[in-house]
Every structure is written in C-alpha cells, then in structure tokens.
Amino acid sequence: MAKNTPKKTTSIYLYIPNIIGYIRIFVNCYAFAQCLNDKKLFVVLYFISFVLDGLDGWCARKFNQVSTLGAVLDMVVDRVSTNSLLVILSQYYSPGLFFLAFLGLDISSHWIQMYSTFLSGKASHKDVKDSNYWLLKTYYGNRIFMAYCCIAAEVFYLILYFIANNQSNSLIDVMINAVRHNSLVRFPLILSMIGWATKQIINVIQIKTSADACVLYDINRKQKP
C-alpha cells in the first residue's frame, strides 16, 4: 500500500482543475508584473484568470476530479489575486485605507470560514444549510447569485483600476465623475458596486457564523467527559 502512495499523490497533482490552477498562478504573476505599465494587458490577463477560475470548477465536476488540493489552491489564488489588486488600488486612491480594510475583511472571512469548516467536519466551506442567515444560504445555494456577486466585485475593482490615474485622487470624486461624464462606465460601475456591496455584507455574516461555529466547537469539546 505504501508503494502506491507516491503514484496516487502525483495523479492528484495532475488533475485537470489543478493544472488550470497552476496556469492561473503564472497568468497572475505576469499580469501583476505589467500592472503599472499596461492597464489594458493587465485587465485582459486578470479576466482570463477569472474565466479559468470558473473553468476549473466545471472540470472538477465534469471529470470527477474534485480534490482538497484543488479547493485550497483555488481559494488561495483567488485571494492573492484579488487582494493584490486591492493593494494597487490603495496606492491609486485616497483614502487607501478603504481598500486595505476590505482586503482584511476578505482574508479574514475566507480563512475563518475554511477553519470552522474543518472543525465542524464538513466536506465543503459552502455547506451552510444550518445557517440562520438567508443571505448566506442564498449565496452558497444559488450559483447564479453567487456568480453575480463574485463577478461584480472583481469588475468593480477592475473598473476603478482602469479609470485611475497615477495620482492619489479621492475615490468618491473619481466615482462621481465617472458616473456623471462617462456613459460607458456608468452602468457597469453601478451594477458591479451593488454586487460588490452585497458580497461584503456576506463576508461579515460569514465571519459571524464561522466564529459561532468555533465557539460551539469549544463548548462541545469542554462538555465531553
């Protein structure tokens, strides 16, 4: 049995969804290497990585190649790419703390959710059927709604990145100016901002429910003889 372990391990590394995850890492590395020089190229590459994010999930289900490595890799790549973009935006706009605050919220929400998932013995962090919050259950239970919130958040950040200049301008002033004077940006910016705001509310709820799960785990552990 021990002799077969390396072969089985290697085969999981070579799952199609995991290979897509490796490709995303290289795409993101090149994208962020060019983010200060070529905005159009960065947006295209970032969008390609985002499309691949959806493709790896489809491949995992299609070819029955769901793995813990794939789930962790997918979340890590998502968080690193999104939060790297937030760091860039914090340099383009004032107050930069606005973006850094949501960077912290994003990391905290997903980390504590994953940790509480393992403590609870659940197979997936998306298993929230026992939650008391309908918004959280709708988010993880409805793929269309979840896709809208995730895509909207990324589009919102990408629009802010694309319309920014090299100076640290007021975020509110830039957004108001874009809505008033840029008809191409107006509708996507408003629509994506709604989805982005919804996702931030979900992140807060996720922290609360995950913290409750951690507390419940401690209580149950102390009550055991």
Instruction: State the catalytic residues.
Output: 78
CA distance 138 to 6: 40
Rounded to whole angstroms, the Cα distance separating 200 from 69 reads 26
Residue among 66, 87, 152, 78 at smallest CA distance from 109: 78
Cα torsion for 78, 175, 108, 87, to the nearest 10°?
70
Amino acid identity of residue 176, one-letter, is I
Residues 101/89, Cβ–Cβ less than 8 Å: no
